[in-house]
């Protein structure tokens, strides 16, 4: 699990295709790797990657075809800057929100403008993700925990304060580029619970989800 608070900006050092998938080497810059072991997770632009080698100046990770299909990793270039965050420890301060490192989809920046010392971004969202994004809710963009300022149709707006812009790759964002999006995990599970699930034993619908009838039957309202 991660918090969406970026710890360092790294750099793509090497990209190799191996038997149909990818091996990626990342230089981690100022990120402290002193407590990182083989098998540990490091979020890279919001993607949870497992360290399979620790060459000293960074880490190496294998990237599956599943991850390649749902991210912009196939477009990564050597030298490209990336946001980095180590997996959260139980003793860490929880400064952002619950982030899994599982990318839900790709957004597209449709507007960038300055607003005093802040940067305003408008990001277009795939149709399948729009229902999970709410004003003043949380969203992860390239691994950065951010607050949604507004929602208008298929786009949502962000206000990026100077510190966030300087400490992440957001300062280099340009109109038209794609970004990794991870919606609030609570919204995803809440939808699943409310719409009903199929029984693992029978495959049949075991619940119709949350209805007025189920609320009354559970004593939350009077009939």
DSSP letters of 32-89?
--TT--TT-EEEETTEEEE-SB--SSEEEEEE-HHHHHTSSGGG--TT-EEEEEEPPP
Q: What pLDDT is recorded for position 202?
A: 46
Confirm if 158 and 141 have CB atoms less than 8 A apart. Answer: yes
Would you say residue 194 has pLDDT above 80? no
Please name which of 123, 202, 187 lies closest in space to residue 159, comparing C-alpha atoms: 123
φ, ψ of residue 188 in degrees (nearest 5): -65, -45
Question: Using CA atoms, how far apart are residues 105 and 129, in angstroms rounded to an integer?
Answer: 8
Partners of 99 in the β-ladder:
2
Q: Residue 62 region, left (φ>0) first, then alpha (ψ -120 to 50), else beta? A: beta
* pTM of structure: 0.86
Q: What pLDDT is recorded for position 147?
A: 96
Lowest mean pLDDT among 7-11, 189-193, 209-213: 209-213
Would you say residue 218 has pLDDT above 80? no
Q: Tens of pLDDT along 50-69?
A: 999 999 999 999 999 999 99
What is the mean predicted confidence (pLDDT) over 78-88? 97
Question: Using CA atoms, how far apart are residues 23 and 193, in angstroms rounded to an integer?
Answer: 37
Please name which of 57, 25, 59 lies closest in space to residue 42, comparing C-alpha atoms: 59
Would you say residue 199 has pLDDT above 50? no
Q: Tens of pLDDT along 102-149?
A: 999 999 999 999 999 999 999 999 999 999 999 999 999 999 999 999
Question: Using CA atoms, how far apart are residues 184 and 137, in angstroms rounded to an integer?
Answer: 8
Q: What pLDDT is recorded for position 89?
A: 80
Q: In whole numbers, what is the pLDDT of the chain averaged over residues?
A: 91
Banded pLDDT at 95 (limits 50, 70, 90)? confident
Q: What pLDDT is recorded for position 222?
A: 67
Banded pLDDT at 25 (limits 50, 70, 90)? very high
Q: Tens of pLDDT along 143-180?
A: 999 999 999 999 999 999 999 999 999 999 999 999 99
Show the domains of the chain with their CATH numbers: 8-86 (2.40.30.20), 187-217 (no CATH)
- Tell me which of 58 and 98 has the higher pLDDT: 58
Would you say residue 36 has pLDDT above 50? yes
């Amino acid at each position: 699990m991660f918090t969406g608070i970026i710890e360092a900006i790294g750099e793509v050092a090497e990209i190799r295709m191996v038997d149909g998938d990818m091996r990626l080497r990342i230089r981690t810059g100022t990120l402290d790797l002193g407590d990182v072991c083989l098998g540990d997770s490091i979020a890279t632009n919001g993607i949870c990657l497992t360290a399979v080698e620790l060459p000293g100046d960074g880490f190496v990770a294998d990237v599956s075809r599943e991850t390649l299909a749902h991210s912009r990793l196939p477009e990564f270039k050597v030298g490209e800057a990336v946001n980095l965050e180590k997996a959260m420890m139980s003793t860490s301060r929880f400064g952002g929100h619950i982030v899994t490192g599982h990318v839900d989809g790709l957004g597209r920046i449709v507007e960038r403008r300055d607003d005093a010392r802040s940067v305003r971004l408008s990001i277009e969202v795939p149709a399948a993700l729009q229902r999970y994004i709410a004003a003043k809710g949380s969203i992860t963009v390239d691994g950065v925990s951010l607050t949604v300022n507004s929602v208008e149709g298929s786009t949502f707006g962000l206000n990026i304060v100077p510190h966030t812009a300087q400490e992440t790759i957001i300062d280099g964002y340009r109109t038209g580029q794609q970004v990794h999006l991870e919606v609030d995990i609570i919204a995803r599970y809440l939808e699943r619970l409310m719409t009903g699930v199929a029984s693992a034993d029978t495959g049949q619908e075991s619940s119709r989800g949350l209805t007025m009838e189920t609320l009354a039957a559970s004593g939350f309202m009077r009939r």
